[in-house]
Amino acid sequence: MADGGAGGQIDFDWADAERRLAAAAHGADDAELFVEQSRSESFLWDDGRLKSASYDSTQGFGLRVVAGETAGYSHASALDPDSVQRAADAAAAAKRGRSGALDAAPARTNRKLYPDVDPLGSAAFTAKTDLLAEIDAYVRARDPRVVQVTASLAGSQRHVSILRPDGQRIDDSRPLVRINVSVTVEKDGRRESGSAGAGGRDVYAPWTSSERWKALADEALRIALVNLESVPAPAGEMDVVLGPGWPGVLLHEAVGHGLEGDFNRKGTSAFAGKIGERVAAPGVTVVDDGTIGGDVGGGRRGSLTVDDEGTPSSRTVLIEDGILKGYLQDRMNARLMGVAPTGNGRRESYAHRPMPRMTNTFMTSGDKDPAEILASLKRGIYAVNFGGGSVDITSGKFVFQCTEAYIVEDGQIKAPIKGATLIGDGPSALTRVKMVGNDLQLDEGVGTCGKAGQSVPVGVGQPSLYITGLTVGGAG
């Protein structure tokens, strides 16, 4: 039985697949067949011309059989009975004579977080390329210091179906779009850049209206011009105020990954075994919520009606008022840890096994006015935007590059700085949160998370934060 959606559009012999899956799952703890058909496109405008336009169409399935801590996984791009049987035979080897009872199937849901629409067919090819040309012309006309504009559009539509050994089938149709603008400016031989983007689970229109894309282009230009006036960043230990919204990517990397169930079940996370303990300053609450609708249209980039195991997504409180409450769970790790799945079993595609992953992860609002937070910073860094970063899950140590940051003295924003990096560890940084703003913002819909070679779309967010004693790497 299907839960509606567009999964029925996949041409597949479901009855035959159910029979083969049930045979492979006999004696296992869990099993599923994940079937996918997807189409995607992307357009890149660079150096005053359309540099690339691509289209891709894929289909395939992944079959998994789980026995204890062992998971057998096999996948193929051919949707035919012989391929399913070969995959079932290979995946069933995970049982190795073990005899178990199948875990309970995921709960059903009639909730739908995003429309069943096709971004690729929502606008003509020329409309998309003309938009990119218009963005280029608009930005160049805004300031004579603009020397380069890069604009891109990307859209996809994924139809997925998760088939259980008992015949239950969960279907989901997932649109996703994104628009990005990057600007390079030059003055007296010095070049700097800035970028901005947005997107979500809908057709292109909500993000490609004139008002919307001009706001993104203006923001990219603003950041580039700020960086053009930047001075070398200082170095040393100092207090830092993080701006709202996208700076939540630091929370995502430095804390969020450490709260995923697999790392904690294996004891490799800095947060392992600390449920019920204080791991953050009072007032710090961290949530992962895959059920958020979009601010502009459709659903947010990280939101999912159901995860890639068929479990409905949920709002999971990870840290509440500084106390660790739980972890993000897929089905296998939840069963092994004796807790309920949280709807965070995700995979990049049919060719990848599911694992615990974040959806939209953010810190909730506090009670401080952002102006009050900034005014209390005597000398330190105000970090507004971040670029790349890295984290070690075991220790929680992170390094993040600031793409827009300022020196603050006596509560006043001074010069913008270039080359600043924030260095610390997530568990320690959480205990050093001094003030939490009342201005929670989620990012604009551009996040992509990598783990174990898989990439999935995510959301991040936070209010303004005052953190004491972070190490700032800079010029000295």
Q: Count Cβ neighbours within 10 Å for each residue of 121-150 and write b for 16 or more, e otherwise.
A: ebbeeeebeebbebbbebbbebeebbebbb
The alpha carbons of the chain give a radius of gyration, in whole angstroms, of: 24
Dihedral Cα 268, 269, 270, 274, nearest 10 deg = -100
Residue among 440, 441, 458 at smallest CA distance from 449: 458
Q: Are 303 and 459 in contact (CB under 8 A)?
A: yes
Report which of 28, 29, 19, 31 is spatially closest to residue 73, judged by C-alpha positions.
31
Name the phi and psi angles at 452, rounded to 5: 50, 40
Q: Which amino acid is at 454?
A: Q
Taking only the tens of pLDDT, the chain with its 476 residues reads: 334 333 346 788 999 999 999 999 999 999 999 999 999 999 999 999 999 999 999 999 999 999 999 999 999 999 999 999 999 999 999 998 788 889 999 999 989 999 999 999 989 999 999 999 999 999 999 999 999 999 999 999 999 999 999 999 999 999 999 999 999 999 999 999 999 999 999 999 999 999 999 999 999 999 999 999 999 999 999 999 999 999 999 999 889 999 999 999 999 999 999 999 999 999 999 999 999 986 656 789 999 999 999 999 999 999 999 999 999 999 999 999 999 999 999 999 999 999 999 999 999 999 999 999 999 999 999 999 998 778 888 888 899 999 999 999 999 999 999 999 999 999 999 999 999 999 999 999 999 999 999 999 999 999 999 999 999 998 65
CA distance 254 to 272: 14
pTM for the model stands at 0.94
Q: DSSP per residue over 164-186, as a string?
A: -TTS-EEEEEEEEEEEEEEEEEE
Nearest to 248, CA basis, from 368, 356, 363, 358: 363
| Per-residue tokens: 410 | 């006596």
List of E strands, 77-188: 146-163, 169-187
CA dist., res. 467 & res. 435, Å (int): 7
Say if CB 348 and CB 336 are below 8 A apart: no
